[in-house]
Amino acid sequence: MMEFNRVQFLQNKTILVTGATGFLAKVFVEKILRVQPNVRKLYLVVRASDNEAAMKRLRAEVFEKDLFKVLRENIGEENLNTLLSEKVVPVAGDISTDNFGVKDSNLRERMQKEIDIVVNVAATTNFDERYDIGLGINTFGALNVLNFAKKCVKAQLLLHVSTAYVCGEKSGLLSERPFAMEEIRNDDGHQLDINFEMELMKRKLKELHEQDCSDEDITLSMKELGMERAKLYGWPNTYVFTKSMGEMLIGNHRESLPLVIIRPTMITSTHSEPFPGWIEGLRTVDSVIVAYGKGVLKCFLVDVNSVCDMIPVDMVANAMITATATHAGGSGVHMVYHVGSSHQNPVTFGEIHEISVRYFTKNPLRSRSGSPIAVSKVRLISNMALFSLYMTLRFRLPLQLLKLIDIIYPWRSGDKYGDKNRKINMVMRLVELYEPYVLFKGIFEDRNTKSLCASQKEDETKNSKGSMFDFDPKGINWGDYLTSVHIPGLITHVLKK
């Protein structure tokens, strides 16, 4: 691997980033601006009505966040504003359309003349997303980004962020290599055909419109279709299925453009930069930790011996920058990096449970009235059938169920006094969606990432720069991280206590 100084690499580079209002991309953008203010330009593609509205979104949802407080303190408010106005170019765009739907041909041409690196972070991350939306963003959206990158005359690399869970529900050591589309077959031996999937979805959508179905019914049918097609080809949900197809499409159509695919596992709060514990939103394991702290989680479907593969968001951003600097301009590059912890520094769900019990026993959350919320050990059940039975017997009081839904599935909480069975069904559907992950038996091979990390460390030693782009999961002490960084981070930045 070529050796580079990552900071120098970023100097004078023009980088396009999609998904900049999201959790991971804003950490990536902050890091670049903090360590290399002499980056030439950052084109940030944001869904908005026009570029001005895109900038408004970026200010409110990215630059004014606590995440930027270190940079703000380092250089001062005025200099930060100057830096942003000189370096950041907001682009109102949508990756599900050709050329991001950018109509202004001057802007488009400028972008295609200037851009060196394209970083696709945008995605829909709903597990049971509508099939049309999942295909539009995660599959064909990724292809649109690749096609745009190919039109950028100086483009040296497309860095595409996927997810480690594109592996589906396989167990054992999961290889860190690109998909071979020919290998994907359903039980009848039919090879996956992505264009057919698009056609099928369009046909179904047309039928639903012709039948004058309500929006709600269309959404439901599109969600069901996504899950059905995912399961047919061996994936547990629409999110990972559409992300997998996105990887396959860009792998097949990349031609000579170097392509790096970063597959993070479950992304958690910052480990150290710009400061420890910054996080946004409640995802996967965090919803469970918070529900537990709030005293509403009494029982949970999980295998205590399964490894919960988490990786702090700043480490993912560091891996992205290092991989970019390493592979930009390389010929024939089609690299995959698993960015996670399960192979080198595993932590089990059982251990996380123990740590959470100790944390909330010592530092209880407070109820609205200010009294400490008592927590006790959760009943952990590692079998879906038993869990189902437990739920039916346990949740006789609708109020407890409602509270649970409000916390772990807030966008679904709906009317507070709805019918109890519907609520039980919703919880069960949620548990079914999470089942593949809480009973997961895979370990992500990370040989590529390990060697990237080693070359990164060697480079930093030579340049005596200290650890500026650390992404070595071995350096994480899970007990310390969860107790002193991650759970306090969730409480401060997500629960805003």
Ligand X SMILES: NC(=O)c1ccc[n+]([C@@H]2O[C@H](COP(=O)([O-])OP(=O)(O)OC[C@H]3O[C@@H](n4cnc5c(N)ncnc54)[C@H](OP(=O)(O)O)[C@@H]3O)[C@@H](O)[C@H]2O)c1
Residues with a catalytic annotation lie at: 239, 243
Q: Closest approach of Cβ 95 to ligand X, in Å?
A: 4
Site for ligand X in 250-309 (CB under 6 A): 264, 266-267, 283
Q: Closest approach of Cβ 121 to ligand X, in Å?
A: 5
Q: Closest approach of Cβ 397 to ligand X, in Å?
A: 32
Note whether 96 binds ligand X by CB under 6 A.
Answer: yes
Note whether 158 binds ligand X by CB under 6 A.
Answer: no
Choosing from 6, 10, 13, 23, the residue that interacts with ligand X (CB under 6 A) is: 23
CB 110 within 8 A of CB 43: no
Tracing tokens 């949802």 back to the chain, one arrives at 61
Q: Binders of ligand X: how many residues, by CB under 6 A?
A: 26
Compute the half-sphere exposure of residue 221: CA atoms within 13 Å on the CB side of its CA: 17
Per-residue H/E/C for the chain: CCCCCHHHHHCCCEEEEECCCCHHHHHHHHHHHHHCCCCCEEEEEECCCCHHHHHHHHHHHHHCCHHHHHHHHHHCHHHHHHHHHHHEEEEECCCCCHHHHCCCHHHHHHHHHHCCEEEECCCCCCCCCCHHHHHHHHHHHHHHHHHHHHHCCCCCEEEEECCHHHHCCCCEEECCCCCCHHHCECCCCCECCHHHHHHHHHHHHHHHHHCCCCHHHHHHHHHHHHHHHHHHCCCCCHHHHHHHHHHHHHHHHCCCCCEEEEEECEEECCCCCCCCCCCCCCCHHHHHHHHHHCCCCCEEECCCCCECCEEEHHHHHHHHHHHHHHHCCCCCCEEEEEECCCCCCCCEHHHHHHHHHHHHHHCCCECCCCCECCCCCCEEECCHHHHHHHHHHHCCCHHHHHHHHHHHCHHHCCCCCCCHHHHHHHHHHHHHHHHHHHCCCEEECCHHHHHHHHHHHHHHHHCCCCCCCCCCHHHCCHHHHHHHHHHHHHHHHHCCC
Tokens coding 435? 């089942």
Q: Closest approach of Cβ 374 to ligand X, in Å?
A: 30
How far is Cα 434 from Cα 123, in angstroms, rounded to an integer? Answer: 19
Q: Closest approach of Cβ 124 to ligand X, in Å?
A: 5
Site for ligand X in 26-45 (CB under 6 A): 45
Note whether 122 binds ligand X by CB under 6 A.
Answer: yes
Note whether 18 binds ligand X by CB under 6 A.
Answer: yes
Q: Closest approach of Cβ 246 to ligand X, in Å?
A: 9
Note whether 129 binds ligand X by CB under 6 A.
Answer: no
Which position's Cβ is nearest ligand X? 22
Q: Closest approach of Cβ 319 to ligand X, in Å?
A: 12
Q: Mark the segment that binds ligand X (CB under 6 A) among 16-24, 32-40, 76-84, 227-235.
A: 16-24
Q: Closest approach of Cβ 250 to ligand X, in Å?
A: 13
Choosing from 7, 10, 16, 24, the residue that interacts with ligand X (CB under 6 A) is: 24
Choosing from 39, 67, 84, 123, the residue that interacts with ligand X (CB under 6 A) is: 123
Between 37 and 226, CB nearer to ligand X: 226
Between 339 and 402, CB nearer to ligand X: 339
Between 37 and 340, CB nearer to ligand X: 340
Do the strands 334-339 and 259-264 form a parallel or antiparallel pair, or are they unpaired?
parallel
How far is Cα 340 from Cα 165, in angstroms, rounded to an integer? Answer: 11
Tracing tokens 């988490």 back to the chain, one arrives at 310
For residue 456, the cross-strand partners are none
Choosing from 67, 137, 257, 325, the residue that interacts with ligand X (CB under 6 A) is: 137
Choosing from 80, 117, 161, 485, the residue that interacts with ligand X (CB under 6 A) is: 161
Note whether 47 binds ligand X by CB under 6 A.
Answer: yes
Note whether 139 binds ligand X by CB under 6 A.
Answer: no
Q: Mark the segment that binds ligand X (CB under 6 A) among 91-99, 222-230, 328-336, 358-366.
A: 91-99
Note whether 318 binds ligand X by CB under 6 A.
Answer: no
Note whether 341 binds ligand X by CB under 6 A.
Answer: no
Choosing from 21, 221, 238, 456, the residue that interacts with ligand X (CB under 6 A) is: 21
Choosing from 112, 163, 237, 342, the residue that interacts with ligand X (CB under 6 A) is: 163
Site for ligand X in 379-418 (CB under 6 A): none
Q: Mark the segment that binds ligand X (CB under 6 A) among 18-26, 189-197, 204-212, 475-483.
A: 18-26
Choosing from 58, 71, 95, 487, the residue that interacts with ligand X (CB under 6 A) is: 95
Q: Mark the segment that binds ligand X (CB under 6 A) among 17-25, 146-154, 329-337, 373-381.
A: 17-25
Q: Closest approach of Cβ 96 to ligand X, in Å?
A: 4
The residue ranges that bind ligand X (CB under 6 A) are 18-19, 21-25, 45, 47, 94-96, 121-125, 137, 141, 161, 163, 243, 264, 266-267, 283
